[in-house]
Structure 1
Amino acid sequence: MKLIEGQLIHRRYRLDSRLAQGGMGEVWKGYDIQLGREVAIKALRSDVTNAEAKLRRLRAEAHNSANLAHPNIAALFEYYEHDGIGFLIMEYVPSKSLADLFHSKGAMDPIELLPILIQTARGLFVAHSHGVIHRDVKPANIMVSDTGEVKITDFGVSYSTGQGQITQDGMVVGTAQYISPEQAQGQQATPQSDIYSLGVVAYEGLAGHRPFTGTTPVDIAAAHVNNPVPPLPDSVDVQLREFVMSMLAKDPLDRPKDALVVSRTLARIERRLLDQQTEMANTAMATSGNRLPRRVTSTPRIVLEAPASRLGGNKQ
């Protein structure tokens, strides 16, 4: 079955435009004609090899995503199969990915980056609380709206503690540039594996580049296992630097306890950096002697002047 524009799926979902196509399937922007809303439709292509195994993976993705109702996770609306093809009907997220932001901005100001990391950690904590490990946390799977809202997408290689074995023992699952050392060695992923991958995302956002590079994915994965993480720039706040490096510990036991700890710690750092920024702005205003202009009335002559201490400075 070949999917084409304008095709109606399940007598309800219209295929409008293909967004992406990969080895497992394709993703379309669609329209739910019953509810009058845009949707994303992920479909397993009929011409893939080993289709039954990949269909099991799609079913697992649907199962793992079904109960993850959270503002920072792209919602799954429906899953069904027809004529040997599986369809995931998901929330359409018309946003740029964090990978797009990294490409356009390079290193980001922590004040801009931290809210994205905090929201991602919150979404991951909810997934982990339901026994779901994402296993492919990377900038391309973190969508960021113009208003700064974050949605985690693509649970296509996720693992649930309640599901049966899908991947073979020792098989490496994940993206080499962001993979945890234990995943790179074919071990079972845990919540700490997702925390490591988010640590790589944080490192890239702060430094403007990933911690490890190589000529092949195997070289990069090996570096995650064997090489020490290069230090972050000295210009990065020391507490933020140290915490991101703790997320990148080789031993999962040395990483933060869970993603909730990550979100709360990063939120405290964000608050402190915002307070420092506000204090610096107020100090700059006081130093410049910025005062309100004098206002003079007629007889009797009265001069009204607002002292700088009452201006409040540049509040944020």
Structure 2
Amino acid sequence: MLREVANRYSIIALIGQGGMADVYKAFDTILNRVVAVKVLRSKLSEDPMTLVRFQREAYAASKLSHPNIIDIYDVGEAEGLHYIVMEFVRGRTLKQLVMQRGALDVPEAVAIMKQLTSAVSHAHEHQIIHRDIKPQNVLIKDDGTVKITDFGIAVANDSVQLTWNNAVMGSAHYLAPEQAQGKEPDPAIDIYSLGIVFYELLTGDVPYKGTSPTEIAVQHLRSALPSVRSFNPAIPQSVENIVVRAAAKDPAERYPSARDMVQDLNTCLLPDRAQEPPLHLKTITLDLKGQNEPRPKPAGRKKKALSRVKGIAMGVLAGVVLLLLVLFAGSVTGLLRIPGFLGYETMPGLVGQTQEEALQSLDAAGFDSEKAEFEYKVDDSLDQGRVIAQSVNAGRVVAQDSSIVLTLSKGPSFLIPDYTGRTLEDVKADLAAHNVNVTLDITSRGEPDTNPGIVLEQNGLVPGSRVDPEADNRMSLVISEYPSIVIPQELIGMDVDEAKRLLNREGAAVITRQVSGQGTNVVRVDPPVGSLYTQEGTDSVVTLYY
């Protein structure tokens, strides 16, 4: 368990996990403030591309100062750990807000977009393109303030480009069409992502879905954006026009800048814009080269004189019949499986989808979704409820009535902290706050100079290990208690200083009193020898008379 970073940031708790880093709540012991510390996982620091992305996040965000952009306090490397220290935000991500509440009220959605777009505009003015605008990278404070974060794949004018696969595939739902075409990024890609985020806030869902990031990217290129007013007719046309313009497939039809989009958001709810006419764009779909998709032209029909030789025709017919017989026999025996023939289909890729999306994908591929079975497992990379494994691999041709087991994420595992030195009440409160099911086996041990109820030893679940919070976990704790001793007989006649040291070693507080002559030998003990004595704080003492 990580306890401290750079001899300055004392770790309080693990609060988040991403694909390449863990985020901790920590206390800055120099400036006396709570911060968030993002630490690159040690194994990933050996990957040059991952390290560049991590360092780029710090570089890009540190150049910016805006109330809606997370503040970066410190960046560094200590004992092989690369870290970024940033402001600690109490709240939740915008994605969590939408998942919990669904579509937001129009004024609330507009207010969030004003802040978010203002932050993006500020970044653009400093030649920073975020490239990964999505609700998962937007934090909402308890007071409603928006904070955009994760500049890990942002690009500046002087930066080296990351590959399309590394940078974009994980955010396909908010992907600008030109990114799918492999074009150089410019501010217009952030504006497109803002339009998709605005769509999600107003409807509670993303406009394009698919069984793979590539399939979703193709929809960004070819599928018209659904109308938000068809979802909710009460949404003003002026608001829908902002979504349509920001999410235009052709960058030339989008807002010239994020600042222009902010100005439109500032006025979209004014009464004089309520009856604004719908915005119609010229470009509906793009091909893979980025040009307008040509309209198909009717193919001309040419008449050809056909002459057939009876023998050739019969031979062809016989060959076709033979081929069908072979296909039929192979399919019946299972030796030859052809998608769409005699009950066989190609299993789609389901990993990363929600349970509902996976069932829809199975139905769309021709399988019986009622045959699907589910098991659940903790996973630190995918959100709760998403498929992390499928028993039948994607691309396999199997019978349509085949059963399939889908493993769904139960959410992240729990990182066991080091509880030694903390009170038993703290341990129970921490486990309850994270909904971790743990049976505690408690034993006590007298410990000198230690208040009762302090964890002295931790066994079973060692610090730094990860567990399934819902599993039947078990942990043994040794808790301090007031030490108890039997007053030893050998104290009588012992030198008083030696007797005091002996009792101190057993955890007893001792005072001495001289009662006769010049001798230093113990003549009497209170409590008397042979009795059981418990050290209960500073008010409790053993008296040695000499």
TM-score interval, normalised by the smaller of the two chains: 0.7 to 0.9
TM-score by length of structure 2 reads 0.47
Whether 1:129 aligns to 2:128 is no
The more displaced of 99-108 and 17-26 is: 17-26
Residue 284 (structure 1) aligns with: none
**How far apart, CA to CA, are the structure 1 residues paired with 2:228 and 2:274?**
23
**How far apart, CA to CA, are the structure 2 residues paired with 1:184 and 1:39?**
37
> Is the Cα–Cα contact under 8 Å of residues 133 and 191 in structure 1 kept in the other structure?
yes
1:98-247 → structure 2 map (5 Å cutoff): 98-165=94-161, 167-168=162-163, 173=168, 175-234=171-230, 235=233, 236-247=235-246
> Is the Cα–Cα contact under 8 Å of residues 99 and 204 in structure 2 kept in the other structure?
no
Residue 312 (structure 1) aligns with: none
Distance 1:216 1:49, change over 3 A: farther
User: Cα deviation per residue 1:50-75 (whole Å; 9 max; x = unaligned)?
Assistant: 52332222221111111211000001
Gaps of 5+ in 2: 276-546
**How far apart, CA to CA, are the structure 2 residues paired with 1:84 and 1:221?**
38
- Deviation, 1:227, is 1.2
> Is the Cα–Cα contact under 8 Å of residues 179 and 224 in structure 1 kept in the other structure?
yes
Describe the SS at the equivalent of 2:216.
helix
**How far apart, CA to CA, are the structure 2 residues paired with 1:102 and 1:169?**
27
Cα RMSD after superposing both structures? 2.1
Structure with a larger share of its residues in strand: 2
The more displaced of 207-216 and 267-276 is: 267-276
- Deviation, 1:49, is 7.4
**How far apart, CA to CA, are the structure 2 residues paired with 1:112 and 1:260?**
20
- Deviation, 1:274, is 11
Residue 543 (structure 2) aligns with: none
Residue 262 (structure 1) aligns with: 261
TM-score by length of structure 1 reads 0.80
Give me the identity figure in percent. 36
What amino acid sits opposite 1:259 in the alignment? Answer: A
**How far apart, CA to CA, are the structure 2 residues paired with 1:17 and 1:184?**
38
State which of 2, 10, 13 in structure 1 corresponds to 2:9.
Answer: 13
**How far apart, CA to CA, are the structure 1 residues paired with 2:150 and 2:204?**
24
Describe the SS at the equivalent of 2:228.
coil
What amino acid sits opposite 2:88 in the alignment? Answer: Y
- Deviation, 1:228, is 1.2
What amino acid sits opposite 1:240 in the alignment? Answer: V
> What is the count of residue pairs matched by the alignment?
271
Distance 1:172 1:226, change over 3 A: farther
User: Cα deviation per residue 1:74-109 (whole Å; 9 max; x = unaligned)?
Assistant: 011111112433110111111121111111221111
Distance 1:271 1:12, change over 3 A: farther
What amino acid sits opposite 1:182 in the alignment? Answer: E
Distance 1:50 1:78, change over 3 A: same
Higher radius of gyration, 1 or 2 = 2
Residue 60 (structure 2) aligns with: 64
> Is the Cα–Cα contact under 8 Å of residues 192 and 258 in structure 1 kept in the other structure?
yes
> Is the Cα–Cα contact under 8 Å of residues 111 and 273 in structure 1 kept in the other structure?
no
Describe the SS at the equivalent of 2:211.
coil
Higher RCO by CA contacts (8 Å cutoff, separation 6 or greater)? 1
Describe the SS at the equivalent of 1:19.
strand
Gaps of 5+ in 1: 277-316
What amino acid sits opposite 1:186 in the alignment? Answer: G
User: Cα deviation per residue 1:191-217 (whole Å; 9 max; x = unaligned)?
Assistant: 111111110011011122211011112
**How far apart, CA to CA, are the structure 1 residues paired with 2:93 and 2:210?**
24
Residue 294 (structure 1) aligns with: none
User: Cα deviation per residue 1:28-69 (whole Å; 9 max; x = unaligned)?
Assistant: 111111111111111111122752332222221111111211
Describe the SS at the equivalent of 1:233.
helix
**How far apart, CA to CA, are the structure 1 residues paired with 2:82 and 2:202?**
39
**How far apart, CA to CA, are the structure 2 residues paired with 1:23 and 1:201?**
22
